[in-house]
A = this chain, B = another copy of it.
Amino acid sequence: MSLRIAIDAMGGDHAPLSVIKGVSLFLKDFHSHYPSLSLHFFGDQAVLAPLVKAEKFPAHVDIIHCPTQVQDDMKPLEVLRHSKETSMRRAIEAVAEGHADVVISGGNTGGYLTLAKMILKTLDGVDRPALASLWPNLKSHSLVMDLGANLTCSAENLVEFAMMGDSYMRYIVGRHQPTIGILNVGTEETKGNEALRQAAATLKELPDIHYHGFVEGYDIFRGTTDIVICDGFLGNIALKTAEGAYGTFKNVLSQTFQHSWLTRLSFLMARGRLKTTFGQIDPRNYNGAIFLGLRAPAIKSHGGADSFAYSRAIKIGAEMVACKGLNNHIQAKIQGIYP
């Protein structure tokens, strides 16, 4: 399969090194799937050239020099106005102009959403694209959205998210009748605010949507529903709290096994299995959130992603390119309901 990736090499806390190394890891694992691969790196030529050269990528590679970059503390409007020569914007434009199939960035989330929306355009009937990703849970995975692109959402936005998530789970993940929950402070119908209650009332009435009800923070991990809908503020806090919890667990467990010769021996005996388990629930494995609702694939890597995490985000991007029908599915669903 042919794959052309536009990479904002300057976006992310550890960029560009984590980005270049991440691409390298991706190729190590998946190069055989993509014999015809083009990598377009957007960023500071002088910085990138030696890094890219050192990796000897087995792919077509070019570096597109961009003198500036979108800063993490820029507000969306500021990004709109002052991003002409930035690596993020140029990478997005490469997709819009047909030079690449997917764009990946670990930069400023709000700025990325604003630029992607303006340059790639939203699907007909979609007001706001949503940032979505799969989380591991006790059963398998659930899709959580929005994760930080839309900090406040109306009831209509949440309903739209639910429909896009439904398409994703059916079409990409293969769930037949995905159930949908709205994240709230309690499961009772009276809980939360007006937007949540309105969204719940609408979803309950929609044909071919399996609305479960309000869900709480722990339901994400219990796998109570296939899809969890929330505004980007809640989603972002939940995501990062879960990551923090994972880090703490790992840390205290490793201290526990260091306690005595007996616990150290115990660790050696279970090491292989523990490594597998920790790998399965490692948040880095789930890096790479998708902007659902755009006309072309755009992937957001976590700002703090290391190279391994970044390689996972590229994998998500490659999967999105392979599944060309998703947008038709979303489009039909949304237009069926808002004809």
Contacts and interface: CB of A to CB of B under 8 A. Distances in A.
Interface string A187-218: 01111110000000000000000000000111
A240 B252 contact: no
Interface stretch (A60-68, A81-89, A267-275, A321-329): A267-275
Interface in A130-155: 136-138, 148, 151-152
Interface in A209-268: 216-222, 230, 232-234, 236-249, 251-253, 255-257, 259-260, 262-263, 265-267
Contacts of A263: 269-270, 273
Looking at chain A's contact residues, is the secondary structure mostly helix, strand, loop, or mixed? helix
B236 A221 contact: no
B251 A138 contact: yes
Nearest to A271: B266
A259 B273 contact: yes
A217 B233 contact: no
A136 B186 CA distance: 24
Number of copies: 2
Contacts of A232: 185
Contacts of A169: none
A72 interface: yes
Q: Which of A138, A216, A262 has the most CB atoms of chain B within a 10 A radius of its CB?
A: A216
A32 interface: no
A281 interface: yes
A175 interface: no
Contacts of A188: 72-73
A47 B230 CA distance: 40
A112 B257 CA distance: 43
A151 B190 CA distance: 13
Contact of A221 (B185, B245, B266): B245
Contacts of A185: 109, 148, 151, 232-233, 236-237
Nearest to A137: B248
A193 B151 contact: yes
Nearest to A216: B240
Question: Could you say which interface size class chain A belongs to?
Answer: 35 or more
B269 A241 contact: no
Contact of A73 (B183, B190, B269): B190
A190 B74 contact: yes
A193 B148 CA distance: 13
A188 to B, nearest CB: 4
Interface string A271-288: 001101100110000000
A240 B245 CA distance: 11
A142 B265 CA distance: 34
Given A241-B245, A257-B273, 7 more contacts: A136-B248, A217-B239, A218-B243, A238-B238, A256-B274, A262-B269, A266-B270
Interface of A: 72-75, 109, 136-138, 148, 151-152, 183, 185-186, 188-193, 216-222, 230, 232-234, 236-249, 251-253, 255-257, 259-260, 262-263, 265-267, 269-270, 273-274, 276-277, 280-281
15 contacts: A75-B190, A138-B251, A222-B244, A237-B238, A245-B245, A245-B249, A249-B281, A253-B253, A253-B277, A256-B270, A260-B273, A262-B270, A263-B269, A263-B273, A265-B269
